[in-house]
């Protein structure tokens, strides 16, 4: 008597997911295998985009428990890729077995799927399962190879071009990742085409920047345009702008920055000396020493470009606002390196602040954004693909958080930050300076610095004396929610510390990140092994938080804070002032970016601030890699907590002229994909 199995096949809903190719299936059971069966219904277009199709597979004898499903795709007419979401098998006894796939079948390809139950490698029972797991990782290690893009960088994927990447990690559509197309489209949308090629042509006056500024009423960008010259706005950005990671409490005025009480006494509000204000914890510092002697962009012989390495002293006044006290534009005290003060001439002080904002822009783009979210997330992603089988619970947990990351970084290396790339067009660190910056920043890049609460504490910014540090407060809340979710998932699969120590795939993943991804640099302090559940929860929280929340915090505010060019100049065309009294409107305008570079900069910050089409936000997991009920319950709890916090952020922001929403969970994409 024949045994009937019902096979249900789900095709992806993204563009070009469907196929006209022949699809064959073989069911592999503990007792025997089915015949290789063509899945085809007469007079029916099988495997259309978004379709869920069911087929009957009949066998003479029971197959036993279904262990594997083998799918084969054979060419019908021409190359026609297919995206399979999952396969579900209903057995003759009525049981349903889920086989998650979520991958592309390209060309004449065979894919062998395990059922969706997450399993640690040490708990595999059968030889079939162990062999499948080993072969899967051997294949992946050949596909996902490490490569050093520049000496001293974190390692990246070994692919010379985006088109050489495995189809599974490419974008759903080419336009999603084409920087040239996206920047050009942004420039068109912003109506700045007419200025595009006006390089070397200065604006006449600060108000001229309005010619390319898209004025959107009641937005942060408009507020910045109106108030950017004011000291409170300059100080506020250290807390809640694009780069809220530089400011730190000053426990001692550095020897290189010889600010005296007499210089700043008129700005101090508590009848204390400068030294007493330091002791009271009211003085902060922003030091851009990484910028010292970085090579400025010299790719355009017609335009000299300049960089500086400023240091800025900040003061928490009685209203708990952060205000600038003093600015020095180079690291070493010297006669030609004056300390600029709020009491100086209007344009001397304004130009000094502009220089700080320009340096902040460079550190933000290259270190805070590129290195500390994009490149490190790629390291985690490559190691995951190389060392964790698809049935591993940690693979299932992390896969949504590395979605498109390797793709976006590969395209950036191809179009954006490569030699003669888009970065060179408008950025003062283009032409190689950005590479030097990453190499320098790597020397102080530690695992501990990715632990959000630890990083805040290390800068002395964990006290409640600054009530409006929303980046810190919202970030801490999201960190705790991610950590709580990760802990729930870890508890489901790891019953003890010993379980973690015996998980060979997990240990290989962590070692790969440190020994290859971070090149075993002595100073990086990334763990090479996992010993406890607590350590694993922290590590996985770092991976997820860095890719989602931290990237959102430093990426999606770029148009808000950088679209008003004088507030975030991408380059400076005059050297830093070496004495007071030389700045006027003309000098400031000749220092700021010219018309052409302003437009490229505007296109860049607009494009980088846009969400992807069909963006998946934190906690949204439409691909069901996990099939177990306890994990689904943990996901529901996670989403509920995130949604409650989103409502809280929305309520706090109502009526605010400067709302802070970058860490509202409904605006945090799951992964680095922009």
Residue 321 φ then ψ, to 5°: -90, 145
**283 forms bridges with which residues in the sheet?**
315
pLDDT band at 196 (very low <50, low <70, confident <90, very high): very low
Which pLDDT score is estimated for 604?
Answer: 78
Does an H or E element contain 285, and which? Answer: strand 283-287
| pLDDT beyond 90 at 641 | yes
- Please tell me the distance from the alpha carbon of residue 55 to that of residue 533, in angstroms, as a whole number: 43
- Please tell me the distance from the alpha carbon of residue 291 to that of residue 519, in angstroms, as a whole number: 24
Q: Are 114 and 27 in contact (CB under 8 A)?
A: no
- Please tell me the distance from the alpha carbon of residue 104 to that of residue 166, in angstroms, as a whole number: 9
Q: Are 288 and 248 in contact (CB under 8 A)?
A: no
Nearby residues of 234 by Cβ (< 8 Å), 6 or more positions away:
228, 324, 353, 356, 357
**287 forms bridges with which residues in the sheet?**
311
> Concatenated DSSP letters for 140-157?
HHHHS-EE-SSTTSPPEE
| pLDDT beyond 70 at 212 | no
Residues 147, 150, 151, CA angle at the centre, nearest 5°?
100
Q: For residue range 487-513, list pLDDT tens digits in order.
A: 999 999 999 999 999 999 999 999 999
Residue 123 burial (CB < 10 Å; 0-12/13-18/19+)? exposed
Query: Tokens in use for 564?
Result: 């008003």
Percent helix, percent strand, percent coil in the chain, to nearest 5: 45, 15, 40
Q: For residue range 366-393, list pLDDT tens digits in order.
A: 999 999 999 999 999 999 999 999 999 9
- Please tell me the distance from the alpha carbon of residue 478 to that of residue 452, in angstroms, as a whole number: 10
- Please tell me the distance from the alpha carbon of residue 407 to that of residue 176, in angstroms, as a whole number: 10
Percent of the chain with pLDDT over 70: 93
pLDDT band at 203 (very low <50, low <70, confident <90, very high): low
3-state secondary structure of 665: helix
| pLDDT beyond 80 at 173 | no
Query: Tokens in use for 61?
Result: 């004898």
pLDDT band at 182 (very low <50, low <70, confident <90, very high): low
Torsion of CA 228, 230, 235, 241, to 10 degrees: -20
For 76-90, 569-583, 598-612, 621-635, which range has the lowest pLDDT when averaged over its residues?
A: 598-612
Q: Are 558 and 242 in contact (CB under 8 A)?
A: yes
Residue with tokens 């996902």: 144
- Please tell me the distance from the alpha carbon of residue 149 to that of residue 146, in angstroms, as a whole number: 10
Report the candidate in 116, 126, 64 with the shortest Cα–Cα distance to residue 91.
Answer: 64
Residue 319 burial (CB < 10 Å; 0-12/13-18/19+)? exposed
Between 607 and 526, residue with greater pLDDT: 526
Q: Are 564 and 213 in contact (CB under 8 A)?
A: yes
Residue 80 burial (CB < 10 Å; 0-12/13-18/19+)? middle
Percent of the chain with pLDDT over 90: 81
Between 614 and 309, residue with greater pLDDT: 309
3-state secondary structure of 149: coil
* Summary mean pLDDT of the chain: 92
Which pLDDT score is estimated for 174?
Answer: 55
Q: Are 342 and 609 in contact (CB under 8 A)?
A: no
Q: Are 112 and 68 in contact (CB under 8 A)?
A: yes
Between 255 and 199, residue with greater pLDDT: 255
| pLDDT beyond 60 at 215 | no
3-state secondary structure of 71: strand
- Please tell me the distance from the alpha carbon of residue 563 to that of residue 213, in angstroms, as a whole number: 7
Q: For residue range 46-98, list pLDDT tens digits in order.
A: 999 999 999 999 999 999 999 999 999 998 888 889 999 999 999 999 999 99
- Please tell me the distance from the alpha carbon of residue 370 to that of residue 156, in angstroms, as a whole number: 13
Rg (CA), the chain: 28
- Please tell me the distance from the alpha carbon of residue 225 to that of residue 43, in angstroms, as a whole number: 63
- Please tell me the distance from the alpha carbon of residue 89 to that of residue 66, in angstroms, as a whole number: 9
């Amino acid at each position: 008597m024949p045994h009937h199995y019902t096979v249900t096949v789900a095709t992806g809903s993204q563009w070009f997911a469907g196929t006209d190719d022949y699809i064959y299936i073989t069911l592999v059971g503990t007792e025997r295998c089915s015949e290789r069966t063509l899945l085809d219904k007469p007079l029916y277009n099988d495997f259309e985009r978004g379709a869920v199709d069911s087929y009957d597979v009949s066998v003479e004898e029971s197959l036993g428990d279904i262990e594997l499903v083998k799918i084969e795709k054979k060419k019908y007419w021409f190359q026609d890729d297919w995206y399979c979401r999952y396969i579900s098998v209903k057995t003759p006894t009525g049981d349903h077995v889920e086989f998650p796939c979520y991958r592309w079948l390209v060309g004449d390809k065979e894919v062998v799927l395990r059922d969706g139950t997450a399993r640690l490698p040490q708990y595999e029972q059968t030889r079939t399962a162990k062999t499948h797991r080993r072969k899967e990782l051997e294949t992946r290690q050949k596909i996902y190879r490490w490569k050093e893009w520049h000496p001293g960088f974190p390692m990246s994927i070994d692919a010379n071009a985006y088109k050489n990447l495995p189809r599974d990690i490419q974008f759903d559509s080419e336009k999603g990742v084409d920087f040239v197309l996206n920047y050009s489209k942004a420039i068109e949308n912003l109506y700045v085409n007419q200025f595009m090629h006006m390089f070397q042509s200065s604006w006449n006056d600060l108000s001229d920047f309005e010619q390319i500024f898209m004025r959107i009423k009641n937005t942060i960008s408009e507020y910045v345009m109106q108030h950017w010259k004011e000291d409170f706005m300059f100080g506020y950005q250290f807390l809640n702008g694009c780069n809220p990671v530089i400011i730190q409490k000053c426990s001692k005025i550095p020897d290189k920055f010889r600010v005296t009480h007499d210089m700043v006494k008129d700005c101090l509000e508590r009848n204390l000396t400068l030294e007493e204000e330091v002791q009271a914890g009211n003085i902060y510092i922003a030091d851009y020493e990484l910028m010292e002697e970085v090579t400025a962009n010299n790719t355009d012989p017609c335009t000299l470009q300049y960089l500086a390495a400023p240091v800025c002293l900040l003061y928490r006044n009685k209203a708990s606002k952060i205000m600038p006290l003093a600015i020095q534009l180079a690291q070493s005290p010297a006669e030609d390196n004056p300390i600029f003060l709020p009491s100086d001439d209007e344009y001397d002080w304004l130009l000094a602040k502009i220089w700080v904002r320009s340096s902040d822009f460079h550190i933000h783009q290259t270190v805070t954004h590129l290195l500390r979210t994009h490149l490190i997330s790629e390291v985690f992603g490559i190691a995951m693909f190389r060392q964790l089988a698809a049935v591993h619970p940690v693979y299932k947990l992390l896969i949504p958080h590395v979605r498109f990351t390797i793709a976006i970084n590969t395209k950036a290396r191809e179009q954006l930050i490569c030699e003669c790339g888009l970065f060179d067009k408008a950025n003062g660190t283009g032409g190689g300076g950005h590479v030097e910056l990453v190499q320098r920043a790597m020397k102080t890049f530690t695992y501990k610095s990715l632990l959000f609460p630890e990083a805040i504490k290390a800068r002395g910014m964990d006290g409640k004396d600054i009530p409006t540090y929303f980046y810190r407060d919202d970030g801490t809340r999201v960190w705790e929610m991610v950590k709580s979710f990760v802990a729930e998932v870890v508890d489901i699969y790891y019953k003890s510390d010993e379980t973690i120590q015996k998980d060979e795939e997990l240990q290989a993943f962590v070692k790969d990140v440190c020994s290859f991804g971070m090149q075993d640099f002595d100073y990086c302090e990334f763990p090479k092994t996992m010993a406890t559940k607590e350590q694993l929860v922290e590590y996985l929280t770092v991976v997820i938080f860095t890719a989602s929340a931290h990237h959102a915090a430093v990426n999606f505010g770029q148009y808000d804070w950088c679209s008003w060019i004088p507030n975030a100049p991408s380059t400076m065309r005059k050297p830093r002032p070496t004495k007071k009294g030389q700045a006027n409107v003309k000098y400031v305008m000749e220092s700021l970016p010219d018309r052409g570079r302003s437009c490229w900069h505007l296109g860049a910050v607009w494009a980088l601030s846009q969400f992807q089409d069909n963006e998946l936000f934190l906690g949204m997991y439409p691909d069901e890699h996990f099939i177990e009920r306890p994990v689904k319950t943990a996901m529901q709890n996670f989403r509920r907590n995130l949604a409650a916090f989103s409502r809280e952020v929305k309520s706090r922001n109502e009526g605010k002229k400067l709302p802070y929403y970058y860490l509202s969970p409904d605006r945090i994409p799951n992964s680095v994909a922009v």
